[in-house]
């Protein structure tokens, strides 16, 4: 598995949107572990993005919370986390 890098915007969004809610912290950790294990189907529903975010990908933390990331040759960069409206 390629190393995952957390962009400073991701860190900022995580602190604002996820950290204040303990349930979301545990859900993020669970889905992050699945992501690291190579899972891409359910429950992550990993998918390619289109439009302005073309070339990026996203996966689900909850029904409405998403992680947006890009995958490069040697690393994965998490760019944003938040609701569908916040990240798209």
Say how far apart CA 5 and CA 41 lie, in whole Å.
22
Does 4-83 carry CATH code 3.30.2310.20?
yes
**pLDDT given at position 88:** 84
Low-confidence ranges of the chain (pLDDT < 50): none
What is the b/e burial string over 22-59, where b = at least 16 CB atoms within 10 angstroms of the residue's CB?
eebeebbeebbebbeeeeeeeebebeebeeebeebbbb
């Amino acid at each position: 598995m390629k190393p995952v890098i957390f962009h400073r915007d991701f860190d900022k969004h995580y602190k604002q949107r996820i950290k204040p809610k303990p349930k979301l912290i545990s859900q993020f950790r669970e889905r992050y572990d699945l992501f690291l294990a190579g899972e891409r189907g359910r429950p992550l529903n990993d998918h390619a993005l289109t439009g302005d975010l073309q070339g990026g990908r996203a996966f689900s933390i909850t029904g409405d919370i998403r992680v947006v990331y890009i995958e490069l040759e040697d690393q994965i960069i998490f760019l944003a986390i938040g609701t569908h409206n916040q990240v798209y």
